[in-house]
Structure 1
């Protein structure tokens, strides 16, 4: 397939064009979020991996601001849902309303019909309302009264929740958490970043002056580029080994699902592309193991009593699991004594 054809379908882009577009989005978001470059880049990687993001942290650290800044950086349709106990599933998906003039029912789309859906405090809605997101997050469609409506591309749900305050909340069930590609925590800013925040955000809200630096068509092309990033067989086997380790760990009563393996590779492709590579390294999987896998697993009662977090368990599994053998030696290794100049995880080049 020619370069022109790839561009028409939103596929492979020149590396410099991909880098310029992605860096522009990151820089725009960082006008609002100070000192969190790694977090911002991971959030963008989830978007380019066609996934969904769960931002979980204490109040006041910028969860909603990150979601809003990403939404405003891309000129596409954006809807915000404030999850409350009285929110109904029809408020999310839409409802069929009887039209007196046409004497027929017509569908009125809900808030989920947008490119970016920002769900604030998702665990404050009832389980019935939370479940309204299951179909759209996995299948990118909504079924109401037996009729299925396709959602736009790109489509991403960015949800926030506070894990500390449990009063008036409904914990997300395993099926719902498994739909989220990654879970990130904002964390407190360092003193320099907090000082810069006071100087820049003290008088005005930086979100009010944020302007889009990309659009939905460009994001579709970036996604097409990410899809073409090469994954060597050794890296695929390493991803399976990582997920399998969670299923066999004695400290876990529920390991990661096959969906987790797929989303781990998709996100690794996006991270590799953002780093300027057209191939995935085992290091990418190691860096993504905690944000992609930790929220999907359930520790045993003994592990909970010992106050072992899922993040710590996944990190321990990553350190114990041996890396692929290709990392040590390959006939195509670029190190001294290697083969024809192609790295062990790079695609074959003409």
Structure 2
């Protein structure tokens, strides 16, 4: 049975207290609580027993200030409305904890000034590395991180910045597959609702979609911008299906979060049937896409593989921060459900 720490003690228990109680050196205590450090099992058992008896907890932040390295990873995200990012955040947390790291989450907006300010703040925590999700990074700040030996991985964004690794889905290929679906299903009035136009995901998905249409001799019938927000996407859908004459018979929406809002407008405000009157396709394959209420045909972002790749790249760069950073693109397959008309012969 383990001993209970003395509730009357008010001063903070130190590593030196534990060392005296365990009959070992102060450095031995430090090694026991440093992941990966070399220490015998006998010493580790004595130190942990003394630490539990005294109620000692190691100060990870203080150790990081002394050593200049921590077991913390800074994760920057711009918004959590899209189901994809909370899911990715959970996967990052589990994956990094399995490697002995912990995640510090920082929220920011999509403006370069705010992002740079947040990353500067993260650097004050002596983090071992930084993952930037759904936002871009200035070249100056990327160089500052590199000069400090703090690797940066861009997640779900593609940006040509020296020393910054990138992990993203094949957004271009996914957009092209949506075009192929619409063309082979016989759609003629094809529309697109864009996300935030400063995002590489938006740029590449639209570029792939337009290339796929052009290859088949089909031009875009209508276009609106939803900015990756549900309310903005609803307004875009209302304008698109009221102002465009004749109305579109298929619409590719840049992500699922907006696609759900668009489907609600089409069905419950405008009285249209999906997919009989209009096919709708999204991008991400977040959990609600499979709900019967939406049954959304969409392009799947393989969150597990993307997170695994990002963590692998980051850890490799923590070990060798001066190695060249690369770009990894994960395939993004089309997932067929009931929101889009299927071409003959497709299953």
Of structures 1 and 2, the one scoring higher in RCO (CA 8 A, sep 6+) is: 1
TM-score of Structure 1 vs Structure 2, range by shorter chain: under 0.3
Max Rg structure: 2
TM-score, normalising length: structure 2? 0.25
TM-score, normalising length: structure 1? 0.25
